[in-house]
Structure 1
């Protein structure tokens, strides 16, 4: 049923945006950009809310969004957990259980327009602003981020200077090449060339830079922190080649290719691998 609903919605969006482009290419591009920024899986289940509310310690107001901060305290180093697109802080529960057992002090937020945060749309600059708000108050030592959250973390690190106490970054399957990701969005909706050209023009005018400026492999060149980067060869959401390019451009990056874990990488194999890395890191530091 979910697949059928997705197919129908995709066809409707495709028909609407392509038809509108013959009347107003700019209006069609504006609608497409809004769609690109809009998550569609915000509803939390009751047990998610109960679990998160027990850990909620405060709420940030970034001006545009209200962002909840959750904390599962520990006596050790502080870890900030940054979830991906159409997810929420609850997705980190098995990681937090393991990290708490090892003594780490765990924090997480819901991205703008995700989980219990306010808003309807979310961009990497929006998410980075929320990350910055937390790190300005708490001296985080490690960031662990996934997918869109990984890309937003890269954006944060290359645009903000609040992370003076950060020691290491861990990324799982981050978004890498924004231009290629945008092309996949075009292809998914089967958008015509009018929409595509108008979209790129609108994006570059709105954000003041060519779209390639926002490629992760370019942004990481300005980051001095060491990084552990994990990406699965069987990822059917984001290509592992994106992380390969990031790793080559990052000054100090350990890149691990896995097999058979898919995009989410939330099973015990990955959790234990990252936990061991953190313990080894504590010894080295």
Structure 2
């Protein structure tokens, strides 16, 4: 009911000012409402070496579990935080990887209240230039942000990329957003124009399958067929365009994919 109330408000606002309606729709879309560190999560996160680094106007909480092998950067999804990697971190530590993770803007202990694709990509690039990771492992929205960042920067030091349950097409995300709130086509069109004005590209430009089309880096794509949050076909489309990728489909593991067999596949890929 709250979401529908937002939609009704945007429809009314658009009658008077489509630009204001679009700006408000974007603000609602990018506002982070969950993902702060809970007391039980703090116990695990305190096992890492911690520091803050600055990225644009944000302070990013960084976690470091030292190891002698290559550096792996972990990138979590929407309304999550570094705790989501606890099982994979334990597996990576068995192989003595040097592990870096961070909380996205508005998440965990990092500052801010919003997150969008360009902002997340900028934060990821800040971590890459600081820690020079060899491998990237990302979940959900983090996977889309990682691929977007590589499309923009093509970091030479990155050897392998893993995405887990990640969406691909911004236009699909936007269509889902419109359905949840129930705003009309006038608000949708104004939102699309706002994206062009603010980011210099249309909604269709933000597509993971497009981002990877020219990539020569090794990729591992994992996605569950019954994922209720990120559509399975998103990873199918990315794999079809990413020539040097391996696609592992699962059934019944859900969106988070914390299971031991998933972590084993990731480590197997990184060590191969």
Return the TM-score normalized by structure 1: 0.91
Query: Does residue 1:148 correspond to 2:149, yes or no?
Result: no
**Secondary structure in 1 matching 2:52:** strand
Residue 212 of structure 1: CA displacement? 1.0
Question: SS of the counterpart of 1:61?
Answer: strand
After TM superposition, give the deviation of residue 96 of structure 1 in Å: 0.3
Mapped to 2, the partners of 1:278 and 1:63 lie a distance apart of 31
Aligned position for 1:99: 92
Name the CA distance, whole Å, in 2 between partners of 1:144 and 1:73.
Answer: 17
State the shift of 1:139 in Å. 2.3
Inter-partner Cα distance in structure 1 for 2:50 and 2:199: 34
What residue is the counterpart of 2:23 in the other structure? 30
Partner of 1:160: 153
1:181 aligns to what?
Answer: 173
Structure 2 residue ranges without an equivalent (≥5): none
Could you say what secondary structure the match of 1:158 adopts?
Answer: helix
Two-structure CA RMSD over aligned residues (Å): 1.5
Match of 1:17 among 7, 10, 16: 10
State the TM-score, normalizing by the size of structure 2: 0.95
- The equivalent of 1:197 in structure 2 is 189
Alignment partner, residue 68 of structure 1: 61
The equivalent residue for 2:255 is 263
The count of residues paired between Structure 1 and Structure 2 equals 272
> Match of 2:213, SS?
helix
Contact 1:72 1:105 in 2 (8 A): yes
The residue that corresponds to 2:222 in the other structure is 230
Instruction: State the 1:178 CA deviation.
Output: 0.8
Q: Residue in 1 aligned with 2:112?
A: 119
Q: In 2, Cα distance between the equivalents of 1:240 and 1:251?
A: 19
- 2:204 is equivalent to residue 212 of structure 1: yes
Match of 1:241 among 227, 233, 238: 233
Q: How far off its partner does 1:184 sit?
A: 0.9
- When structure 1 is superposed on structure 2, of 53-62 and 164-173 the one drifting more is 53-62
Shift of 1:208: 0.9
8 Å Cα contact 1:56/1:68 also seen in 2? no
Q: Which runs of 5+ in 1 are unaligned?
A: 1-7
Q: How many angstroms does 1:275 deviate by?
A: 2.4
The answer for the alignment partner of 1:4 in structure 2 is none
